[in-house]
Amino acid sequence: MMEDCCRVSAQKAQADSLICPVCQQKGKSVPLITLKAMLTPSVLSILDPSSSYSFCPNSACEVVYFSHEQVFNKDTVKVPVYQKDEGSEVPVCYCFGLTRQRLIQAIRHKENPAQRISEQVKSNRCGCEVNNPQGSCCLGNVTTFVHGLNQSHNSPDV
């Protein structure tokens, strides 16, 4: 459900049990619709829709999605993945096109990007399940990124 994309459910938290077969980090469960939206057509044709998939959040790992039987690396995803690509033009918020660079500019202009995203979410405009490779709300990523900017620069001149 799109309107629930930025809410954490206890049921989803319990499903987060798969371990990445490459880096051994705990994955985060992702809905099948995310893989259908994110995988390239040639890879989508081999996707097992009956499997449960997880997202590997480890920035050093090439794996994006995995199940007990399948692994999909960065080169099988249609968009750059925030957790796997440090480029300034990579989205932090996929629904509203907020890249690292745009977030830096927003902070310089004393804007509050997290508040803007929250307002859009309340207006039922986010579609994280199909726009964000991690298949869940980006608000945590945005907040962490902005907090990191404020910590590392500790000035309004970010």
pLDDT of residue 4: 53
Domain check: are 71 and 127 in the same one?
Answer: no
Q: Which amino acid makes up residue 63?
A: V
Question: The pTM is what?
Answer: 0.84
Query: At which of 46, 76, 106 does a domain end?
Result: 76
CA pair distance 19, 81, nearest whole angstrom: 19
- CATH code of 66's domain: 2.20.25.270
Which range marks the domain in which residue 23 is found?
A: 8-76
Domain check: are 68 and 93 in the same one?
Answer: no
- The total number of structural domains in the chain stands at 2
pLDDT, averaged per 10 consecutive residues of the chain (158 residues), comes to 48 61 97 97 96 97 97 98 97 96 94 92 92 94 91 59
Domain check: are 94 and 68 in the same one?
Answer: no
Closest CA to 114 of 87, 58, 30, 126: 126
Token match 């009956």: residue? 50
Query: At which of 35, 59, 76 does a domain end?
Result: 76
- CATH code of 132's domain: 1.10.10
Q: Which amino acid makes up residue 82?
A: Y
Within-domain flag for 1: no
Domain check: are 17 and 60 in the same one?
Answer: yes
Within-domain flag for 158: no
Domain check: are 103 and 144 in the same one?
Answer: yes
Token match 């750059």: residue? 80
Domain check: are 102 and 52 in the same one?
Answer: no
pLDDT of residue 10: 37
